[in-house]
Amino acid sequence: MSITKMEHSGNVDISLQDVDVDLKVAVEADSDRRAKPKTLECKASIKDSEFNFSSIVVHWMYSTMSKVLPNKVREWTEERLCRVITDYIDNKMPETIKEVKLSAEMDEFKVDYSPVSKVSVSQQSLEARHRGEVSWKSDSTPSSQKPDDLPREDQDDEDKMFNLWLDEFVAKTFAESAHSHDYLKARIAEDTISEEDQKEKLRLSYVSSLIPELSSNSAGSVQVEVSSSKVPDVEISEEGVRVQLHGCPCFYSQRL
């Protein structure tokens, strides 16, 4: 008995049709209240598959297994697809979320937008609440301000894919921190005015002439210092943002 060895090669294109993935995911929270997704269930379904061979010989070999091979390919692909999706959601996505910074620095201030609760999930939306507190960069004392409850949008409005709410708490904590750390102050004097801005220098000379005590006790320049005397009032409405500052101006004369 002799056996003839056959060698052949070719290409095959596999087309998968009507691929559906039914995925159920829970959104939990880690120790820092960051969102932590977890796959509860994954079910992939491939309705049909089509094989196109570039070789007649390979096509003939496939025809001998045409009742078994397509089902095996679909089952393997469905299982593999769910495995890849589950691994990404359970392992790679939490690591990516951990790399997201929960604070940012701006000049002398720090903005803390860490989560205050775990993500709320409904059939229509995902809702994430963040702190949004502004504080002095070198002072971690919590603010005395309290955030208000945010209004809820009509979740049936499918035209709105993303809603971002900005509470007055953000602006009020900025105002409180700026006031308590003497950030809201200004000094106006001849050495703070550029040579091109002659109008400001004229205003300082007017101040000296209008206030007798300054003109009689000084033969030099006049300077004005303005500092915050109270936490600014902030109000956000549909019309815009209203800020009311409270300051105390002090006038000084400098002898030459």
Of the listed ranges 5-9, 25-29, 70-74, 173-177, the one predicted with least confidence = 5-9
**Is 87 a member of any domain?**
yes
Contact 115, 135 (CB under 8 A): no
Q: What pLDDT digit, counting tens, does each position of 14-33 carry?
A: 677 788 899 998 888 887 77
Pairing of strands 103-106, 35-53: unpaired
Contact 35, 130 (CB under 8 A): no
Q: Can you read off the two tokens belonging to residue 103?
A: 């604070």
Residues 50-73, mean pLDDT to the nearest whole number? 63
Q: What pLDDT digit, counting tens, does each position of 107-118 carry?
A: 899 998 888 777
Same domain? 77 vs 29: yes
Pairing of strands 240-254, 221-237: antiparallel
More reliable by pLDDT, 140 or 160: 140
**Is 160 a member of any domain?**
no
Same domain? 89 vs 42: yes
Same domain? 79 vs 91: yes
**Is 131 a member of any domain?**
yes
**Is 239 a member of any domain?**
yes
Classify residue 175 by burial, with Cβ atoms within 10 Å: 0-12, 13-18, 19+: buried
Residues 131-145, mean pLDDT to the nearest whole number? 86
In this structure, what DSSP letter does residue 153 have? P
More reliable by pLDDT, 44 or 203: 44
**Is 123 a member of any domain?**
yes
More reliable by pLDDT, 238 or 13: 238
Q: What pLDDT digit, counting tens, does each position of 216-226 carry?
A: 455 556 677 88
Q: Can you read off the two tokens belonging to residue 10?
A: 């070719």
Same domain? 81 vs 123: no
Q: Which of 187, 186, 179, 184 is nearest to 230 (CA)?
A: 179
Provide the CATH number for the domain around residue 71: 3.15.10.10
Assign 47 to helix, strand or coil.
strand
* Residue 142: predicted pLDDT: 83
**Is 158 a member of any domain?**
no
Q: What pLDDT digit, counting tens, does each position of 167-214 carry?
A: 888 889 999 999 999 888 877 776 666 555 555 555 555 455 545 555
Same domain? 93 vs 19: yes
Same domain? 240 vs 190: yes
First to last CA, the chain: 122
Same domain? 147 vs 202: no
**Is 179 a member of any domain?**
no
- Confidence band of 1 (pLDDT split at 50, 70, 90): very low
Number of CB atoms found within 10 A of residue 65's CB = 10
Average pLDDT across the chain, whole number: 76
Q: How far apart are CA 214 and CA 126, in angstroms?
A: 63
Same domain? 230 vs 206: yes
**Is 5 a member of any domain?**
no
pTM metric for this prediction: 0.60
Same domain? 35 vs 51: yes
Same domain? 28 vs 87: yes
Q: Of 81, 99, 117, which residue is a domain's last?
A: 99
Same domain? 34 vs 86: yes
- Confidence band of 68 (pLDDT split at 50, 70, 90): low
Parent domain of 227: 184-255
Is residue 45's pLDDT more than 80? Answer: yes
- What is the total count of domains within the chain? 3
